[in-house]
Amino acid sequence: MEPVIELDGLEVRFGPRVILKKLKAALTGRSVGLLGPNGAGKSTLINTLLGFHKPSAGTARILGRDIRTHAREVRSLIGYMPENDSYIAGMTGVHMVRLMAELAGLPPEHALERAHEAFFYVGLGEVRYRAIGTYSLGMKQAAKLAQAIAHGPKLLFLDEPTNGLDPPARARMIQLIQEIRDRGDLHLLLSSHLLRDVEDCCDQVLILKDGNVAAFCNLEEERRANRRFLELETRGEHNGDFLTAVQALGCETAPGAQGRIKLVMPDGLEVRSLYEIAAGQNVQIRRLNHKRDSLEDIFLKAMESPDGRL
Amino acid sequence: MAVYKKTYRPYEGELTPGWSRFLVIPRYAFVEFRGKRFLSIFFFLSFIYPLICALIIYVQHNASALNLLGVQGARSLISINVTFFMSLLGWQSMLALFLASFIGPGQVSPDLANNALSLYLARPFSRVEYVLGKMSVLVILMSLMTWVPGLLCFGLQGYLEGWQWMRDNARLAGGIFFGAWIWILLLALLALALSAWVKWKPAAGGLMFGVFFVSAAFGAVINGVQRTRWGNLFNISHLVGVVWVQLFEGSNRTTNGAVFFRVVQGEELPLWTCWAALGVLSLVCLFMLARKIRGAEVVR
């Protein structure tokens, strides 16, 4: 599969400071999460891919186009939702989105039509003729998303899209991002501090720390693996027999205190079989959880490594 | 399908040519400009002087109109010559300075204050195109105030006076056109550069006047204290005036510039130093713009 974003020894310096340190990665996912603590280089990476910063060494390719030699073409493929409050003062929401679509190359009449569509799509249809400076924070975030998608990009950069949103607004934003992702027309790069946002929206994740790639993993594979990883809480007198029986089915087990058991099921084994064995052994399964905190584990592990590399 | 029922869809239609996209900015700016009553009135009032000039030209060539007004001798009082056109350009250029001070500060500073540059520059739209787009707002308006009416008056005079007059005075047309462009480009660059560095609009507008009047006063002080003429290097209207006289008259000088651009005889700087000083000023403005017009600010 051709990478959506390919980082080829990408290095960015601001004066003597090295911000991105020869990054190498091939991001192939439909939606890629970009994680990292403050100062890790997430925004610098996005800004470099957009051509705002010049790489001091190496390069990157977006959908096969080199950002050094085809910067304009690259930007025509991208929709960008910046992290900061960004708008054009004195303009109504729909006019700003129309202007942005025209600058991306759409003829005025198409730009106007798509600006209206984008505004309705992000849920701001009723306020599209209000000056954008008067919007609430949540509305401004949605307007930024509208201007990023109005021209129909192939790749969408979302820099902290849920920043400052209250829970319902955040849920709405995540739902929009998931909807855009699931249509399959474009790729997403979502930069966030919030593991939950990335987990909800992304199938691949790139974790940066101190300008290095600290981890790069496929969340879809992790999720599949996690579906085999269970945590049980049991009650009964024959826990030992239950353990022996599930081990005989090929499960790897790790017993804990008070009837808690962690186990990894082999492929082909269904959870129902565990209940059947438990019933046969007269053991109650009081709680059964699929492992859920995989991204957090990956993130924490990446943050623990001293040089930012796994 | 109703617009509110539509969902996200990619765009597959035609695109506008890349070279023309910077013109989107003035189109939107003029819509905004139309909504500002004070600026619109000022802009239309600025055509009074050219209209009066056109009227003078017409009356000068209309004996019956002169008889009707009872001013048969007026023809000898007002001559349609280099002074006439240079005065027209001088007045209009001074009004252009006011217009640039009103409109210029609102060009870049709001975009910087509201982080809009990242929105502009994340598209297939370069920093140069952004500056060209913003400059063209000022250039188009100031052109309509300066060389366009100037050349129309020249054309009217040529039409009424005859082809021979036009040929003999072709240098005037060149002076109007190129002289106005020098002034317009200088004002536009200065207005954008100040707008990029001073985020408070009234301050940027005030600074625009300051650059002209305070620096001219500073130059005059240098001239007075040092008993030299090189202080005029700080006087932008003096520099432009010297260039204008050259453009309008070449080496056969009969005037000493126009209103606001008057060059005191004996204090003129060599022509090349005026060109060089104007060039340096333009480069400084471009450097200031290059430092500020960025998609993302770099914190070193």
Quick: pLDDT tens for A12-27: 999 899 999 999 999 9
Model confidence band, residue B300 (pLDDT cutoffs 50, 70, 90): low
Q: Which helix (H) or strand (E) holds A167?
A: helix A167-183
Task: Compute the distance between CA of residue A138 and CA of residue A146 in angstroms, rounded to an integer.
Answer: 12
What residues of chain A lie within 8 A of the CB of B11, using their CB? Answer: 106, 110, 114, 151-152
Task: Compute the distance between CA of residue A84 and CA of residue B119 in angstroms, rounded to an integer.
Answer: 11
Which residues lie across from A27 on neighbouring strands? A5
Residue type, A134: T
Model confidence band, residue A271 (pLDDT cutoffs 50, 70, 90): confident
Q: Which residue in this structure is represented by tokens 């855009």? A: A180
What residues of chain A lie within 8 A of the CB of B4, using their CB? Answer: 120, 125
Task: Compute the distance between CA of residue A232 and CA of residue A274 in angstroms, rounded to an integer.
Answer: 10
Chain segment A234-243, per-residue pLDDT in tens: 988 767 788 8
Q: What is the largest CA-CA distance in chain A?
A: 75
Of B8, B14, B110, the CB nearest to A107: B14
What residues of chain A lie within 8 A of the CB of B105, using their CB? Answer: none
Of A85, A105, A180, the CB nearest to B124: A105
B246, B271 contact by CB (below 8 A): yes
Chain segment B244-273, per-residue pLDDT in tens: 999 999 888 888 888 778 888 778 899 999
Comparing alpha-carbon positions, the chain B residue that sits nearest to A120 is: B4
- Cα-to-chain-centroid distance, residue A171: 15
ipTM for the predicted complex comes to 0.86
The CB density around residue B217, as the number of other CB atoms within 10 Å, is 14
Decide if pLDDT at B77 tops 90. no
Task: Compute the distance between CA of residue B163 and CA of residue A293 in angstroms, rounded to an integer.
Answer: 88
What residues of chain A lie within 8 A of the CB of B32, using their CB? Answer: 90
Which residues lie across from A230 on neighbouring strands? A263, A290
Q: Which helix (H) or strand (E) holds A248?
A: helix A239-248
- Cα-to-chain-centroid distance, residue A32: 5
Pairwise CB contact (< 8 Å): A14 & B300: yes
Phi/psi for A11 (5° steps) reads -130, 135
pLDDT at B10: 82
When pLDDT is averaged across residues A226-232 and rounded to a whole number, the result is 80
Q: Architecture of domain A228-294 in CATH?
A: 2-Layer Sandwich (3.30)
pLDDT at B195: 94
Task: Compute the distance between CA of residue B248 and CA of residue A210 in angstroms, rounded to an integer.
Answer: 63
Pairwise CB contact (< 8 Å): B300 & A88: no
Task: Compute the distance between CA of residue A215 and CA of residue A308 in angstroms, rounded to an integer.
Answer: 9
Q: What is the DSSP letter of B230?
A: G
The encoded tokens of residue B236 equal 């932008």
pLDDT at B118: 95
Instruction: Say what percent of chain A tops pLDDT 90.
Output: 57
Angle, to 10 degrees, between the axis of helix B37-45 and the axis of helix B127-145? Answer: 50
The stretches of B198-267 forming alpha helices (DSSP H) are: 201-226, 236-249
Residue ranges covered by each domain of chain A = 5-217, 228-294
pLDDT at A227: 67
Pairwise CB contact (< 8 Å): B6 & A121: yes
When pLDDT is averaged across residues A162-177 and rounded to a whole number, the result is 90
CA distance B35 to chain A (A): 11
Nearest to A33 by CA among A306, A308, A294: A294
Q: Give the B-side interface with A, CB within 8 Å.
A: 3-4, 6-16, 18, 21, 24, 28, 32, 110-111, 113-116, 118-126, 294-296, 298-300
Q: Which residue in this structure is represented by tokens 């002289």? A: B179
Angle, to 10 degrees, between the axis of helix B24-34 and the axis of helix A93-103? Answer: 160
pLDDT at B114: 92
Decide if pLDDT at A160 tops 50. yes
pLDDT at A268: 83
CA distance B119 to chain A (A): 7
Interface test with A, best of B123, B195, B292, B293 (most A CBs within 10 A): B123
CA distance A89 to chain B (A): 6
Can you count the helices (H) and strands (E) in chain A?
11, 14
CA distance A220 to chain B (A): 25
Task: Compute the distance between CA of residue A291 and CA of residue A261 in angstroms, rounded to an integer.
Answer: 12
Of A50, A76, A116, the CB nearest to B3: A116
Chain segment A96-132, per-residue pLDDT in tens: 999 999 999 999 999 999 999 999 999 988 999 999 9
Pairwise CB contact (< 8 Å): A110 & B13: yes
Q: How many CB pairs under 8 A join A and B?
A: 130
Model confidence band, residue A306 (pLDDT cutoffs 50, 70, 90): low
Sheet of A5-14, strands arranged across? A17-27, A5-14, A57-62, A65-66
B184, B145 contact by CB (below 8 A): no
Task: Compute the distance between CA of residue B238 and CA of residue B245 in angstroms, rounded to an integer.
Answer: 11
What pTM was computed for the model? Answer: 0.86
Chain segment A242-258, per-residue pLDDT in tens: 888 888 988 888 888 88
CATH of A5-217, one of 3.40.50.300, 3.30.300.30, 3.40.1190.20, 3.40.190.10: 3.40.50.300
What residues of chain A lie within 8 A of the CB of B6, using their CB? Answer: 117, 120-121
Residues counted in chain A: 310
Decide if pLDDT at B187 tops 90. yes
What residues of chain A lie within 8 A of the CB of B294, using their CB? Answer: 52
The encoded tokens of residue A198 equal 């990335």
pLDDT at A292: 61
pLDDT at B1: 47
Pairwise CB contact (< 8 Å): A102 & B21: yes
Pairwise CB contact (< 8 Å): A87 & B116: yes
Give the end-to-end CA distance of chain B in Å, rounded to a whole number.
51
Q: What is the DSSP letter of B231?
A: G
Pairwise CB contact (< 8 Å): A51 & B295: yes
Nearest to A268 by CA among A231, A227, A232: A227
As to burial, measured by CB atoms within 10 angstroms (0-12 exposed, 13-18 middle, 19+ buried), residue B240 is buried
CA distance A129 to chain B (A): 15
What residues of chain A lie within 8 A of the CB of B16, using their CB? Answer: 102, 105-107
A292, A222 contact by CB (below 8 A): no
Of A89, A103, A120, the CB nearest to B3: A120
A23, A50 contact by CB (below 8 A): no
Residue window 12-71, chain A: list those with CB within 8 Å of chain B. 14-15, 17, 43, 47, 50-53
As to burial, measured by CB atoms within 10 angstroms (0-12 exposed, 13-18 middle, 19+ buried), residue B229 is middle
* 3-state SS string for chain B: CCHHHCCCCCCCCCCCCHHHHHHHHHHHHHHHHHCCHHHHHHHHHCCHHHHHHHHHHHHHCCHHHHHHHCCCCHHHHCCCCHHHHHHHHHHHHHHHHHHHHHHCHHHHHHHHHCCCHHHHHCCCCCHHHHHHHHHHHHHHHHHHHCHHHHHHHHHHHHHHHCHHHHHHCHHHHHHHHHHHHHHHHHHHHHHHHHHHHCCCHHHHHHHHHHHHHHHHHHHHHHHHHHCCCHHHHHCHHHHHHHHHHHHHHCCCCCCCCCCCCCCCCCCCCCHHHHHHHHHHHHHHHHHHHHHHCCCCCCCC
Cβ–Cβ contact A129 with B under 8 A: no
Nearest to B285 by CA among B190, B215, B197: B190
Helix, strand, or coil (residue B201)? helix
Helix, strand, or coil (residue A23)? strand
CA distance A144 to chain B (A): 9
Per the model's pLDDT, the better-predicted residue between A267 and A119 turns out to be A119
When pLDDT is averaged across residues A70-93 and rounded to a whole number, the result is 93
